[in-house]
Chains A and B, each alone.
Chain A
Amino acid sequence: MPQSSSPTQPFDPAPPGPVPQVSAAESPAPAPISPSPPFARAASPPQVEDDALAQAQAGDHQAFAQLYSLHKRRIYSLCLRMVGNLAEAEDLTQEVFLQLHRRITSFRGDSAFSTWLHRLAINVVLMHLRKRGLALVSLDEAMEPAPEERPGRSFGAADLALAGAIDRMALERAIDALPAGYRLIFVLHDVEGYEHNEIAAMLDCSIGNSKSQLHKARLKLRDALRIHSRQEARR
């Protein structure tokens, strides 16, 4: 499918640097893990979105406000997950919707609007990380962290499974400490519930690459959680 309506241009490569670290103290207050069923993504009512999109493309401010209302939570949540800081997440969300306002007429429906908007948001986040001088500068680099940031080999490990229950705070911290590319795919798939084909469209990568990166992210989380479990056991 042609990418002519892609909302952003690819980024230039830049020298590698430290991985963005997120302060757990700046994350939203933790809540206990609910016994409720797994999170299911709530889709925007298609007709409402289609109508608002068409009207916003024609310059209707109320319709643009409606698009904001439909997508603000998901975009803000994604930004927050990626930068781990409320103020920065607000700034990034504002930048995403400002760019959306500037470029909305270039959306031609080659993909779902939400996919296009997420792609825009992801590029805004990556650009922000680049400006902060951190490691992540392009989707390509995001998708292939440095060797020392990749998960360790899993076979031959001396100890076996996690205890079965995962400490929520430990998981949050482990996600925040993931290399940004792994974190992005893990958040999109496992937290937000996007399918690999949707992620591939957002990140302009193959479905196989999306699966592979998700797997590495989970392995990396497993490493971190096992270390956490061992530390807890020593106390």
Chain B
Amino acid sequence: MTEDANSMSCAAFQAQLPELIGSGENIAADPHLRSCELCRALLADLMTIAEAARQLFPIVEPPDRLWEQIESAIRNEEGGSGQR
């Protein structure tokens, strides 16, 4: 396979990747992937990134005083609207 043909093949495969990954299909069976080291590496990297992101402990507890501030702001708004 020439370099150009391989690039086109990679381009075509990578154009389908968002849908392939999102579909949950078994991408490893894709004929292009089996023959292309670059695209295999790309896919492995993307999966590694997604896996690492899941472990970033996304949930952070806001400080307790935040609710007090929100309550106070709500009271101010309700007080203001009640005076209209």
Interface residues of A, Cβ cutoff 8 Å to B: 28, 31, 33-34, 36, 38-39, 61, 64-65, 68, 72-74, 76-77, 80-81, 89-90, 93-94, 97-98, 101-102, 153-157, 160-162, 164, 166, 168, 171-172, 175, 186-187, 190-193, 196, 207-208, 211-212, 214-215, 218-219, 221-222, 225
Contact = CB atoms under 8 A, between A and B. Distances in A.
Contacts of A98: 70, 73-74, 77
A221 B60 CA distance: 23
B65 to A, nearest CB: 9
A101 B74 contact: yes
B75 to A, nearest CB: 9
What's the dominant secondary structure at chain B's contact region? Answer: helix
B45 to A, nearest CB: 5
Contacts of A77: 58-60
Interface string B43-84: 011101111111111111111001101110110010000000
B7 A156 contact: yes
Contacts, number: 138
Given A101-B77, A190-B49, 8 more contacts: A39-B54, A74-B59, A89-B62, A155-B11, A156-B3, A161-B42, A214-B18, A222-B46
A161 B52 contact: no
Interface residues on B, range: 35 or more
23 contacts: A36-B55, A76-B61, A81-B58, A89-B62, A90-B69, A98-B70, A155-B10, A155-B14, A155-B38, A157-B38, A162-B45, A162-B48, A171-B49, A171-B56, A190-B50, A190-B53, A191-B54, A208-B18, A208-B19, A211-B21, A214-B22, A215-B18, A222-B49
A172 B56 contact: yes
A33 B52 contact: yes
A17 B51 CA distance: 32
